[in-house]
Structure 1
């Protein structure tokens, strides 16, 4: 079973990041200690991520509650037992219902083993996840971070992370996905912790807790 990084691990990572990259010093100073919020993993975790995408937090919670109540048990077999139109009655769009079938079928047919995904390294796991129709790179990376507790994954395509990186490096333009991945190489093997720090910093700026002048 996946386990969340401990407080000591996160503290060590924060210290290593500031030692490796001066641009992160003020970010680490501004972001208070945090716990790693590990979500449910496996098939259920990935299916839930798909269900919750592109809707509000409140809507996502409501839809997921209906899915759990409707299925009884969120397993690949339970999803495949319900036609797409049945899944849509639980609040899913047709596309998300079809993606649910794709994810379930990948597990049942042995293309991916959600019960033992930890046996794969990060690159192998991302490749296996993105081979499933409906699972993009950002989804695969954030799944490994939040549902598997992996500590060296970085979603370079995330716009909020890119913007925070722009502020950190005092750039005029936001880095591209390719540039973001390249920049994050300096943060190995703690790239997931760096992502957490940048997200927290970005959120604090957007909420007005840190001024843009101070961040930029």
Structure 2
């Protein structure tokens, strides 16, 4: 996931997070200082969502699908419910209506289960602002098909909580592994411990880590054609520099 640098447009919180994380005696600090303030909450969503149910529904729809497929299915789903996904409309529809939009059986069940909990008050979206991160996380992962990753991303990107850390996220763990020069990918439990110095700005640390991995991915993409050209010329090398 790319980072949204804010530079001179940075809010007070964005500047405070960058200053704090950049001041640590920490492998992440150098990357933070070179990057500057960021918008930790920008999810770069390709659709407009007007409620927690719509945000979570798109997260479910887009899981393991291409952007084009996700947009097509979500568009049909929104159209099926008259332009807005509401708990009452989902609950009143049968599962086949969700399947007809292109959802798998499991995804249809998850969205319906979410809507049922919103509709009957077990997941009170009007109270989210006053709930703790732990309470929200527990309420979301209780829904079949909603895991810790979806719960963390919802709290980070939709609720804009500043201290969310998805310790199980592979990109986050790979970034920590690279920055700390570890021999193997850090475990979720160890990543959780590693994140402690980044409190109370772990959402920002997460976004910096995602940005670090995105930069590494871009660098790999740039180098790949150069390696291919070298191979075609008959010059094999074990590293991008040829050394």
Provide the TM-score with structure 2 as the length reference.
Answer: 0.80
- Larger Cα Rg: Structure 1 or Structure 2? 2
2:77 corresponds to which residue? 67
Whether the aligned pair in 2 keeps the contact of 1:99 and 1:133 (CA below 8 Å) is yes
CA gap 1:21/1:152 in 2 versus in 1, 3 angstroms? farther
Shift of residue 53 of structure 1?
Answer: 1.0
Whether the aligned pair in 2 keeps the contact of 1:130 and 1:140 (CA below 8 Å) is yes
Take 1:34 and 1:59, find their aligned partners in 2: how far apart are those partners?
A: 29
1:159 paired to 2:164: no
**What are structure 1's unaligned runs of at least 5 residues?**
1-5
**What are structure 2's unaligned runs of at least 5 residues?**
1-9, 224-238
Take 2:130 and 2:95, find their aligned partners in 1: how far apart are those partners?
A: 31
Shift of residue 32 of structure 1?
Answer: 5.1
Whether the aligned pair in 2 keeps the contact of 1:28 and 1:197 (CA below 8 Å) is yes
1:44 paired to 2:48: no
Take 1:84 and 1:170, find their aligned partners in 2: how far apart are those partners?
A: 48
Aligned length: 208
Take 2:42 and 2:65, find their aligned partners in 1: how far apart are those partners?
A: 20
1:41-95 superposed Cα distances (whole Å, 9 cap, x missing partner): 4122112211111111221112111111111120011111221111111111111
Take 1:13 and 1:183, find their aligned partners in 2: how far apart are those partners?
A: 17
2:99 to 88, 91, 99: 88
Equivalent runs, 1:128-139 vs 2, <5 Å? 128-139=139-150
Instruction: Choose between structure 1 and 2 for higher RCO, CA contacts under 8 A separated by at least 6 residues.
Output: 1
Take 1:116 and 1:162, find their aligned partners in 2: how far apart are those partners?
A: 32
1:19 paired to 2:23: yes
Provide the TM-score with structure 1 as the length reference.
Answer: 0.89
Whether the aligned pair in 2 keeps the contact of 1:42 and 1:115 (CA below 8 Å) is no
CA RMSD of aligned residues (A): 2.1
Whether the aligned pair in 2 keeps the contact of 1:166 and 1:175 (CA below 8 Å) is yes
Take 2:183 and 2:207, find their aligned partners in 1: how far apart are those partners?
A: 23
Take 1:28 and 1:122, find their aligned partners in 2: how far apart are those partners?
A: 25
**Range with greater deviation from structure 2 (204-213 or 158-167):** 204-213
Whether the aligned pair in 1 keeps the contact of 2:18 and 2:36 (CA below 8 Å) is no
1:179 corresponds to which residue? 190
1:127 paired to 2:138: yes
Whether the aligned pair in 1 keeps the contact of 2:18 and 2:33 (CA below 8 Å) is no
CA gap 1:29/1:178 in 2 versus in 1, 3 angstroms? same
